[in-house]
């Protein structure tokens, strides 16, 4: 499997997974070391290019987890997050040392609001810290990523200067987070394009997008950033992350696959591992995936209405835009409920090994509809009981 960020393919989008850092920051999502290692192995197996394994200066536990992942992962690049401070950067460098491919990811805020209230720093001081932090990191790892926290709410002139400073100091990936999930697809597209148009030497770096989901736009904004030229997308499995979460890896990957006609970009992710990765994360964190969640929700490939089931039995393309197999599921699920029709009922009976004549089928179908009116979920065992009664009565 090809991994690593070096590629000559200009349509290749690097997948930077931050499930273990930004994802783990969501309340109630913390994982222990053994769990983090299982997640990292799965991410590597599925072809993620960069794994953000944690925030080494945050705690000893985080440091140890990043170090253990750095030892275990050999194909993907391993990175850890750090503030623009010597102590953080050195701690991160130490944690990722065993990795075959090491990246330090350092960040500082660039928006007026964050600089004034959070950092309480003048913009000129922020520029100094960008220069010193990136230069320090560049001497301690194979590559440096620099992030402009709250980048989407930063003033354009200042953001351009900050990005230029980071590139001059040695950053080879420049990430522009929509930290609070505030931007819109058009605006974010224009912001990324503006950086390409205005920052000198921007071609020396890969531009990266990192979107939060406060307005439910994280994936749309990520795709807009890619369309504008970004070639790294930061995301998490199941979209877990601070507040409303981060852009969901599975949605980005499948959007690029399914709509490759409109978005001709590729990733190295083996999409057939998506379901496995999603289940692993929800089992470990205890965070259930909402049933109607795109790609990995329990209902993503389920059909209950009679009209849809009839269409599905004739041609799956009528109501599915991707196959269940493409994301690692064995088959679609024709759910039997009060909206289901005779065709799906007959098909279910066949699957269960029954071959009823027309009259028996009609009677069984009437009983099934009565049952479905009273019962929210009709399981295979209910159908079996119902048909056995039908057979016994005749
Ligand atoms: O959302 C954000 O701004 C971040 C950065 C620290 C990369 O997670
Ligand atoms: Zn984030």
* Model pLDDT for residues 124-180, shown as the tens digit of each residue: 999 999 999 999 999 999 999 999 999 999 999 999 999 999 999 999 999 999 999
pLDDT at 392: 63
Output the residue whose Cα is nearest ligand 1's atom 7: 147
In the reported structure, the alpha carbon of residue 349 is separated from the centroid of ligand 2 by a whole-number distance in angstroms of: 49
| pLDDT at 6 (0 to 100) | 56
Contact 304, 339 (CB under 8 A): yes
Higher pLDDT, 389 or 123: 123
By the 8 A CB rule, do 124 and 108 touch? no
Question: Cβ neighbours of residue 22 under 8 Å, at least 6 residues apart?
Answer: 52, 234, 236, 241, 242, 246
Average pLDDT across the chain, whole number: 95
Residue 45 has pLDDT above 50, yes or no: yes
Torsions phi, psi of 236, nearest 5? -135, 155
Report the separation in Å between the CA atom of 175 and the middle of ligand 1, taken as the mean of its atom positions: 9
* Angle, helix 33-46 to helix 274-285, in steps of 10 degrees: 170
192 has pLDDT over 70: yes
pTM higher than 0.90 for the full model? yes
Element (H or E) spanning 282, and its range? helix 274-285
* Nearest ligand 1 atom, CA 151: 3
Is 238 assigned to a binding site? no
d(CA 254, CA 356): 40
Residue 133: other Cβ atoms inside 10 A: 26
- Tell how strand 77-83 and strand 102-109 pair up: parallel
CA of 27 to the centre of ligand 1 (A): 16
pLDDT of residue 2: 43
Model pLDDT, residue 388:
80
Query: What is the rounded CA–CA span in Å between residue 281 and residue 270?
Result: 17
Burial class of 91 by CB neighbour count within 10 A (0 to 12, 13 to 18, 19+): buried
Kindly indicate whether the ipTM for this predicted assembly is greater than 0.85, answering yes or no.
Answer: yes
Closest residue by Cα to atom 1, ligand 1, is 179
Which atom of ligand 1 approaches the CA of 81 most closely?
6
Q: Whose CA is nearest to atom 5 of ligand 1?
A: 149
Q: Which ligand has the minimum distance to the alpha carbon of residue 114? A: 1
Q: How far from chain centre, in Å, is Cα 91?
A: 27
If you compute the radius of gyration of the chain from its CA atoms, what whole number of angstroms results?
Answer: 25
pLDDT at residue 391 in the model: 62
| Predicted pLDDT of residue 377 | 80
| Residue 55 CA, ligand 2 centroid: distance in Å | 12
Known binding residue 308? Answer is no
CA–CA gap between residue 192 and residue 237 (Å, rounded):
24
180 CA: nearest ligand 1 atom: 1
Q: CA angle, corner 300, sides to 294 and 303, nearest 5?
A: 150
Range list of β-strands (E), 239-387? 302-303, 333-334
Phi, psi of 266 (to 5 degrees): -120, 165
pLDDT at position 3, please? 47
Answer whether 319's CB lies under 8 Å from 264's CB: no
pLDDT tens column, 74-111: 999 999 999 999 999 999 999 999 999 999 999 999 99
Q: Compute the distance between CA of residue 67 and CA of residue 373 in angstroms, rounded to an integer.
A: 56
28: left (phi over 0), alpha (psi -120 to 50) or beta: left
Ligand closest to Cα of 208 equals 1
246 among annotated binding-site residues: yes
Least confident range from 3-7, 48-52, 229-233: namely 3-7
Q: Which residues line ligand 1 (CB under 6 A)?
A: 22, 107, 147, 149, 175, 177, 179, 210, 212
Q: In angstroms, what is the span from residue 108 Cα to ligand 2's centroid?
A: 12
Q: What is the pLDDT of residues 318-375, one digit of tens each?
A: 999 999 999 999 999 999 999 999 999 999 999 888 988 899 899 999 999 999 999 8
Q: What is the dihedral of CA 372, 374, 379, 381, to 10 degrees?
A: -110
Q: How far apart are CA 264 and CA 201, in angstroms?
A: 25
Is 213 marked within a binding site?
no
Q: How confident is the model at residue 28 (pLDDT cuts 50, 70, 90)?
A: confident
Per-residue model confidence (pLDDT) at position 387: 86
105-122 pLDDT tens trace: 999 999 999 999 999 999
């Amino acid at each position: 499997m090809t991994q690593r960020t070096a590629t000559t393919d200009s349509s290749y989008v690097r997948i930077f997974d931050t499930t273990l850092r930004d994802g783990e920051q969501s309340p109630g999502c913390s994982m222990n070391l053994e769990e983090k290692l299982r997640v990292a192995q799965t991410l590597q197996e599925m072809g993620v290019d960069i794994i953000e394994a944690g925030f080494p200066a945050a705690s000893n536990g985080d440091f140890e987890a990043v170090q253990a992942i750095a030892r275990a992962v050999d194909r993907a690049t391993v990175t850890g997050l750090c503030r623009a401070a010597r102590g953080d950067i050195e701690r991160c460098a130490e944690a990722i040392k065993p990795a075959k491919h090491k990246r330090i990811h350092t960040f500082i805020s660039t928006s007026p609001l964050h600089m004034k209230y959070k950092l309480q720093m003048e913009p000129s001081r922020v520029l100094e810290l960008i220069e010193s932090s990136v230069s320090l990191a560049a001497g301690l790892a194979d590559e440096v990523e620099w992030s402009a926290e709250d980048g989407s709410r930063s003033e354009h002139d200042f953001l351009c200067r900050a990005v230029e400073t980071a590139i001059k100091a040695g950053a080879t990936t420049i990430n522009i987070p929509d930290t609070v999930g505030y931007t819109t697809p058009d605006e974010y597209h224009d912001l990324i394009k503006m950086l390409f148009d205005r920052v000198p030497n921007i071609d020396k770096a890969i531009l990266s997008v990192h979107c939060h989901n406060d307005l439910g736009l994280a994936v749309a904004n990520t795709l807009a950033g890619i369309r504008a030229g970004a070639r790294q997308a930061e995301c998490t499995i199941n979209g877990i992350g601070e507040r409303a979460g981060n852009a969901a890896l599975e949605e980005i990957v499948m959007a690029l696959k399914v709509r490759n006609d409109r978005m001709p970009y590729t990733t190295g992710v083996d999409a057939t591992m998506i379901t496995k990765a999603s289940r692993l994360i929800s089992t470990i964190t205890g965070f259930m995936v909402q049933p109607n969640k795109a790609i990995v929700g329990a209902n993503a490939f389920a059909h209950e209405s009679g009209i849809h089931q009839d269409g599905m039995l004739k041609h799956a393309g009528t109501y599915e835009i991707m196959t269940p197999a493409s994301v690692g599921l064995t088959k679609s699920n024709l759910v039997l409920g009060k909206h289901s029709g005779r065709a799906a009922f007959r098909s279910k009976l066949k699957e269960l090994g029954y071959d009823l004549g027309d009259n028996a089928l009609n009677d069984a179908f009437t009983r099934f509809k009565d049952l479905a009116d009273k019962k929210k979920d009709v399981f295979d065992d209910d159908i079996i009981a119902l048909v056995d009664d039908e057979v016994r009565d005749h």
